[in-house]
Amino acid sequence: MNKIILASGSPRRKEILERFRLNPIVIKSGYDEKENPDENPIQITMSLAFNKALNISKCYKDDIVIGADTVVVYKDSILGKPKDESDAYEILTLLSGNTHEVITGIALIQDIKNLKFIDYEITKVKFRKLDSKRILNYIKTKEPLDKAGAYGIQGLGELLVEKIDGCYSNVVGLPLTKIDFYLDKYFDTHLL
C-alpha cells in the first residue's frame, strides 16, 4: 500500500481517515491561505486544497498527498473560522434558524505518477433557532473557535443542528466517500 500524507493540521481530518483504517502521516502544509477574491467559494476551497497538497507533494513525490479546505457559505458570504468570540457570536446568530452550505474542496496528488485530482462536496445544514443564551454558552466551551462557521457538528455543535442533507464527514472536514472513490479508482488503495 502506498504511503498517505495528509497535508492538514486539522485533527478532525486525521480522525476521519483513521476511523477507516488509513493511518496517514500528517504534515501541516505551510501554504499561506489567501483567498482569491475573483473565485467563488467552490473554486476557493479547491484552490486552497490543491495548494496545500502541492506544497507537500513537491517534497514527497512518491506518496499520495491529500489536501482539503472547508468553508461555510450563507447567503453568498464565506464564513471561515471566527477571528474571536464576538465574531463567533455574530456567525452563530446569522446561522440560527437558517440553512447554510458546508463546502469542502479536496485534492489528491501523487507527483511521481503525475496524478492530480481536485474535487469538492457540498452538504446543506439547517440550524435550530438559537437564543443568545445558548449561543453564549456554546462559545464558552471554546469549541467554535478553530472551526469554519464557528461550530463542530462532531462535538457539542450537534445540538445546534436541526437536519443535514448530504455527506456528514464533509461537514467535519473531509468527504470520505469522495476520497474513497479517488483512492480506489486511481491510487489502488481500498478502504473496504
Ligand X SMILES: Cc1cn([C@H]2C[C@H](O)[C@@H](COP(=O)(O)OP(=O)(O)OP(=O)(O)O)O2)c(=O)[nH]c1=O
**Look-up of cell digits 511521481:** 112
- As a whole number of angstroms, the distance between CA 78 and CA 71 comes to 7
Taking the least distance from each CB to ligand X, the nearer of 8 and 110 is 8
Among 57, 70, 110, 170, indicate the residue that binds ligand X (CB under 6 A).
70
Of 174 and 183, which CB lies nearer to ligand X in the complex structure?
A: 174
Q: Which is nearer to ligand X, 151 or 187 (CB)?
A: 151
Q: Where are the beta strands (DSSP E) in 82-172?
A: 99-110, 115-127, 161-165
Q: Which residues are catalytic?
A: 69
Here the cell at position 122 is 457540498
Which residue in 5, 16, 66, 69 binds ligand X (CB under 6 A)? 69
Q: Which amino acid is at 52?
A: K
Whole-number Å distance between alpha carbons of 130 and 119: 33
- 182 lines the binding site for ligand X (CB under 6 A): no
Per-residue mark of binding to ligand X, 20-59 (x: CB under 6 A): --------x-----------------------x-------
Please report which helix (H) or strand (E) contains residue 6, including its range: strand 4-6
100 binds ligand X (CB under 6 A): no
CA end-to-end distance (rounded Å), the chain? 13
Contact set with ligand X (CB under 6 A): 8-10, 12, 28, 52, 68-70, 72, 81, 102, 147-149, 151-154, 157, 171-173
